[in-house]
Amino acid sequence: MRTDDLDYRLPQELIAQRAAEPRDSARLLVLDRRTGAVRHRVFRDLAGELHEGDLLVVNDTRVLPVRIRARRATGGAAEVLLLEPREGGAWEALVRPYRRLRDGERLDARGLAVVVLERLGDGRAVVRPEAAGSLEEALAVAGEMPLPPYITERPADPGRYQTVYARHPGSAAAPTAGLHFTEPLLDELRARHEIVAVTLGVGLDTFRPVGEQQLADHPIHSEPYSVSAAAAAAVERARGEGRRVVAVGTTTVRVLETVFGSPGGELQGRTSLFIVPGHRFRAVDAMITNFHLPRSTLLALVMAFAGVEQIRDLYRTAVAERYRFYSFGDAMLIQ
pLDDT band at 206 (very low <50, low <70, confident <90, very high): low
CATH (residue range 67-144): 2.40.10.240
Interatomic CA distance for residues 27 and 19, integer angstroms: 11
292: exposed, middle or buried (Cβ count in 10 Å: 0-12, 13-18, 19+) = buried
Q: Which fold has domain 3-63+156-334?
A: QueA-like (3.40.1780)
The pLDDT value given to residue 218: 86
Residues in CB range of 309: below 8 A, 6 or more apart:
none
Instruction: Provide the residue ranges of all domains of the chain, joining segments of one domain with +.
Output: 3-63+156-334, 67-144
Interatomic CA distance for residues 131 and 216, integer angstroms: 42
Interatomic CA distance for residues 66 and 84, integer angstroms: 10
Q: Evaluate if pTM is beyond 0.85.
A: yes
Interatomic CA distance for residues 33 and 145, integer angstroms: 36
CA distances, 73 to each of 78, 86, 243 (Å): 10, 25, 59
The pLDDT value given to residue 221: 81
The alpha helices in 243-307, defined as continuous H runs, are 250-260, 297-306
pLDDT, tens digit, for every residue of 130-169? 999 999 999 999 999 999 989 998 888 989 999 999 999 9
pLDDT, tens digit, for every residue of 278-314? 999 999 999 999 999 999 999 999 999 999 999 999 9
Assess whether the previous peptide bond of 97 is cis (omega < 30° from 0): yes
